[in-house]
Amino acid sequence: MRILDKYLYKELYATFFAVFLVLSLITFGTEATKLLAVAVDGEIAPSAVLRALMYKMPPALEVILPLVALLSVMLSIGRLYQDQEMVVLNSCGISPGYFQKRVFWFLLPLALVTAWITLYVTPWSFKHERLLMLETQTATPLALLTPGKFNELPNGEGVFYAKSITDDKQLQSVWVRLNNEDRDVLMVAPRGKFEWIEGKLALVLFNGHSYEGLENGDSFTVRDFARFEGFLPEIQGAMPQKQKYEVPTAELWSSTSLENQALLQWRLVTPISIVVLGLLGLKMSKTAPREGRFSKVFLALVLYVVFNQLLVTTRDSMEHGAFPVIIGLWPIPILFLAFALYQGSLKPSWFEFPSWHHVQNKLTRKVTAKGE
């Protein structure tokens, strides 16, 4: 590897990690704030905030990695223009095609890592995030209850008591008093737990007794039950539904659904966008002598937003059958790639079509060599 190659790759990787660190802190800081707000509202347990944040990282990386590739290439090569190093390199015979090739080899490992994330890690993270929410919503009512004490239900609608809560979330010696305008009932059971029933979180009691009409004093009704299912006020929640984004990539290949085919193309285009936007950043890195290093950052952000929104809009149109799947998302990265490589012609400056006369002469020399 030449000294210039090492110097260029050092600039690219240093800028990449700096931009990646800044954007990651912004993105994950925002997600952490949202999760903490949800935890304060009691929708998830505080102990599950860190795990939920980890599961949100892969989908967030799909969004920020293409932007990081665009900005890192533009800023690192832009510094060479700003410090007049590019002028010296051009005067030494270093062509623009050299930088296109080096930037491509810099972007290729990033694209492969992004492909691994979007094809395998992201579906896995969506699935485990849903399972975590299912687990924590089941445990949240238990976290709000203090065993061995009488717990007031919201809005004064009753009292809940459990002598103890086992490690497997089982309630022991349960005592529940519901008192509102519609009913007045006392339930006692030796064992209970919280379960998902018809998409809602319900309290289930086993082998207990219920007493209705205790306030009348002179008459009340006693019933025995083997299993009781009920919903406590302000405690039941909606069961997290399976999301389309958690479908494994292997299932998308064999699916004929428009929604799945659009999602498959989205997962394939995302790593390609790393290369496309990185080469676009190389084209935008060229600055005039009096232009600042960050003069084109706003334009780069606009192009990134346009690129991403075109992909999202086309994907949504494909899901609803308004855009043909056979064409798909591919025209968008191809159009941006052509613009990034355009230097008077649509082919890269470092690519040369093979000459027919050169191929013919080479074949003639091989035939002559064999004849001798």
Domain co-membership, 26 together with 101: yes
Task: Write down the pLDDT at residue 71.
Answer: 93
Least confident range of 143-152, 203-212, 311-320: 143-152
Over residues 206-252, the pLDDT tens digits come to 888 888 776 665 667 778 888 887 766 545 445 556 778 888 898 88
Q: Does a structural domain hold residue 178?
A: yes
Which run of H or of E encompasses 189? strand 184-197
Tens-digit pLDDT profile for residues 78-127: 888 887 888 788 788 788 788 888 999 999 999 999 999 999 999 999 88
Q: Are residues 252 and 317 in the same domain?
A: yes
**Residue 293 belongs to a domain:** yes
pLDDT given at position 45: 67
Query: For residue range 30-88, what is the model confidence (pLDDT) as tens digits?
Result: 888 888 887 776 566 677 788 888 888 999 999 999 999 999 999 998 888 887 888 78
Same domain, 12 and 126: yes
Tell whether the model's pLDDT for residue 1 goes beyond 70: no
Q: 77, 282 in Cβ contact below 8 A?
A: yes
Burial class of residue 160 (count of CB atoms within 10 Å of its CB; 0-12, 13-18, 19+): buried
Instruction: Reply yes or no on whether the pLDDT at 151 is more than 80.
Output: no
> 346: which residues sit within 8 A by CB, 6+ positions away?
338
In sequence order, which residues have a C-beta less than 8 Å from that of residue 309 and are 6 or more positions away?
A: none
155 has a pLDDT exceeding 90: no
Residue 331 pLDDT greater than 50, yes or no: yes
What is the domain extent for residue 201?
154-230
Higher pLDDT, 16 or 90: 16
Q: Is position 372 within any domain?
A: no
* 194 strand-pairing partners: 203
Is 14 in the same domain as 89? yes
* The pLDDT value given to residue 95: 80
* 172 or 261, greater pLDDT: 261
**H or E element, residue 226:** strand 221-230
Q: Considering the chain, what percentage of its residues have pLDDT values greater than 70?
A: 77
Statement: residue 308 has pLDDT above 60: yes
- Alpha-carbon gap, residue 308 to 306, rounded angstroms: 6
**Is 254 found in the same domain as 204?**
no
Q: Which of 203-217, 311-325, 338-352 has the highest mean pLDDT?
A: 311-325
Confidence of residue 17 (pLDDT cuts 50, 70, 90): very high
**How far, CA to CA in Å, does 241 sit from each of 120, 141, 197, 244, 328?**
20, 20, 13, 10, 28
Q: Is residue 366 part of a domain?
A: no
Residues 262 and 132 in one domain: yes
Tokens 């039941």 appear where?
Answer: 236
CA distance 24 to 247: 26
Q: Give the percent of the chain with pLDDT over 90.
A: 29
Domain presence at residue 330: yes
Do 56 and 103 lie in a common domain?
Answer: yes
Residue 79 lies inside a defined structural domain of this protein: yes
pLDDT of residue 314 exceeding 60: yes
DSSP string spanning 32-69? HHHHHHHHHTTSS-GGGHHHHHHHTHHHHHHHHHHHHH
* pTM across the whole model: 0.69
Asked if 172 and 166 count as a contact pair (C-beta separation under 8 A), the reply is yes
**Do residues 213 and 68 both lie within one domain?**
no
Residue 148 lies in a domain: no
Rounded Cα distance between 174 and 161, Å, is 6
pLDDT at 144: 57
Residue 22 sits in the same domain as residue 98: yes
Q: How many domains would you assign to the chain?
A: 2
Whether 125 and 259 share a structural domain = yes
Tokens matching residue 367: 């035939």
Domain boundary among 177, 204, 230: 230
The pLDDT score that the predictor gives to residue 237 is 47
Partners of residue 212 on adjacent β-strands:
185, 221
Range 135-154 average pLDDT: 64
- Terminus-to-terminus CA distance in the chain, angstroms? 39
How confident is the model at residue 232, as a pLDDT?
61
Same domain, 54 and 165: no
Give the end of a domain, one of 209, 230, 251. 230
Q: Are residues 122 and 248 in the same domain?
A: yes
Q: Say if 360 falls within a structural domain.
A: no
